[in-house]
Amino acid sequence: MRIVMLGAPGAGKGTQAKKIAEKYGIPHISTGDIFRANIKEGTALGRKAKEYMDQGLLVPDELTCDLVVDRISQPDAENGYVLDGFPRTIPQAEALTKALSARNEKIDYAIDVTVPDDNIIKRMSGRRACLKCGATYHLVYNPPKKEGICDTCGAELVLRDDDKPETVQKRLNVYHAQTQPLIDYYTKQGVLFSVDGTQDIDKVFADIIAKLG
């Protein structure tokens, strides 16, 4: 079962990807993890990716696709995988389709976790982080025992720049411009289905499992 996860930043697709991977015994593959692993191991692809990242540049589509294809060729991905964070653009999706068809394979499901922008901005701007020990909280869903103070180490909690409403909106704008077209792409391939990501995490998961069977 080869699955692609789609959804805006903060929609909860990473959480669902992990749960799917666990249930079906297939690897959860995120591009961030692939980059880090290859850089750490000093592979040829990792060294190439690092050159771009060190300059603050995006890793080109072709190289990203090569890294993903290399990862899905590993023995643990023989029975399938959940791709999280890739593809992000139409050129990446086309490169993946081409690489898979060369192996007589294709994506079986593209799952779109849908959450309105307003909900995502509320969700993310409610996050608070402890910069000292790394613990994270949410003002509504997981508040600290004492307002503004970390339960674990007693340090002050902050709203990270990434989670500020204006930053979140910018990220959502990029998502809609670049990644939204993938929804059409996978709809045309007949493999896309959507789930309502505003529901409870377990309900979203149950809806996904009902479709995957």
User: Would residue 88 show up in a list of annotated catalytic residues for this protein?
Assistant: yes
User: Would residue 127 show up in a list of annotated catalytic residues for this protein?
Assistant: yes
Of 160, 170, 203, 211, which one is the catalytic site residue?
A: 160
Burial 124-156 (b: 16+ CB within 10 A, else e): bbbbbbbeeeebebebeeeebeeeebbeeeeee
Write the burial class of residue 2 (CB in 10 Å: 0-12 exposed, 13-18 middle, 19+ buried).
buried
Burial 79-95 (b: 16+ CB within 10 A, else e): ebbbbbbbbbbeebbeb
Of 18, 48, 122, 171, which one is the catalytic site residue?
A: 171
User: Would residue 47 show up in a list of annotated catalytic residues for this protein?
Assistant: no
Phi, psi of 27 (to 5 degrees): -70, 145
User: Would residue 171 show up in a list of annotated catalytic residues for this protein?
Assistant: yes
What does the alpha-carbon distance between residue 38 and residue 126 come to, in Å, rounded to a whole number? 34
Of 2, 123, 127, 128, which one is the catalytic site residue?
A: 127
Of 13, 19, 71, 128, which one is the catalytic site residue?
A: 13
What does the alpha-carbon distance between residue 6 and residue 8 come to, in Å, rounded to a whole number? 7
Task: Assess contact for 52 and 58: CB atoms under 8 A.
Answer: yes
- Please identify every residue annotated as catalytic: 13, 88, 127, 160, 171
